[in-house]
Amino acid sequence: MSSHSPIMNIMLRASEKAARSLLRDFGEVENLQVSTKGPGDFVSAADRRAEEIIFEELNKARPGYSFLMEEGGAVKGETTEFRWIIDPLDGTTNFLHGLPHWAISIGLEHKGEIIAGLIHDPVKDEIFHAEKGTGAFMRRRRLRVSGRGDLMLATIATGAPRRSKEQRERFIREYQAVLSVAPGLRRFGAAALDLAYVAAGRYEAFWERDLKAWDIAAGILIVKEAGGFISDIDNPSKNMLETGNVLAANDKIYNDLSRVLKAV
């Protein structure tokens, strides 16, 4: 890939500008006393600043597009055919605790389909990106999902729900079921990066329920363009952006892992 497309250049500029702001704030949050006050408000402010930067940059470059953002919610533009889906800080808890594993996620949707996606990890200086039909890349290196097909040798990422007792109990059952066939489980706390890592072949798979559209929009396309499979956990025909239930894997273990989760 010799050069980025105009739309990807717009996304890159927005994410890099927001990344500079977040890195400055990350340097400050590491010095804060971790408590139930103060730092949480500080991170919320960092989150909002980054989102405002991304919104301003994208809106300036493509006026009239609609937005769906974690902090700002839905903003209807002159056209509803194109919609930016933005998470300015995925992995907020990691950020709050000074853990260097968080990311910016930007997806572009056209008539209900994600056509461009970018996941930017400022701390590690890694940018994963894809456009429909052109492949997935980390910077300019082509990404391919892992070729490992043995669940016992696989590294699989997941995320634990916080909302309800029922959701937590279901997660525990799924975790135990997957653990029985694939002992290499990980929980890193940033769904966007989990999806990027599946695309990069660092994980063989990732599953999580009850995510939001901004957590997964960019990652959905990046996994697909890297040759992976990604769908709703329970019903592949359902829209993941609406259900928030995601299973992503390479082509060799997707079916096996899907059967394990459905059996739960």
The SS3 of residue 236 is coil
Check residue 41 and give its pLDDT: 60
Check residue 143 and give its pLDDT: 98
Q: Which fold has domain 151-263?
A: D-Maltodextrin-Binding Protein; domain 2 (3.40.190)
Cα distance between residue 96 and residue 151, in whole Å:
33
Output the six-digit token pair for 193: 């990066």
- Stated as kind and residue range, the H or E segment containing 120 is strand 113-121
Say which amino acid occupies 23. L
Cα distance between residue 203 and residue 248, in whole Å:
10
**Residue 99: beta bridge partners?**
none
| Confidence (pTM) | 0.94
Which of 259, 232, 234, 257 shows the shortest CA–CA distance to 244?
232
pLDDT in tens, 4-54: 899 999 999 999 999 999 999 998 876 654 444 455 566 778 899 999 999
H helices present in the chain, as ranges: 6-29, 39-61, 92-96, 165-181, 191-199, 213-225, 240-243, 254-263
Other CB atoms within a 10 A radius of the CB of residue 78 amount to 10
Do the beta carbons of residue 90 and residue 84 sit within 8 Å? Answer: no
Check residue 42 and give its pLDDT: 62
Q: Name the segment(s) of the chain with CATH classification 3.40.190.80.
A: 151-263
CA angle 94, 27, 30 (to 5 degrees): 55
Residue ranges in the chain whose pLDDT is less than 70: 1-2, 30-42
Do the beta carbons of residue 131 and residue 6 sit within 8 Å? Answer: no
Q: Name the segment(s) of the chain with CATH classification 3.30.540.10.
A: 6-142
CATH 3.30.540.10 fits 6-142, yes or no: yes
Cα distance between residue 217 and residue 115, in whole Å:
10
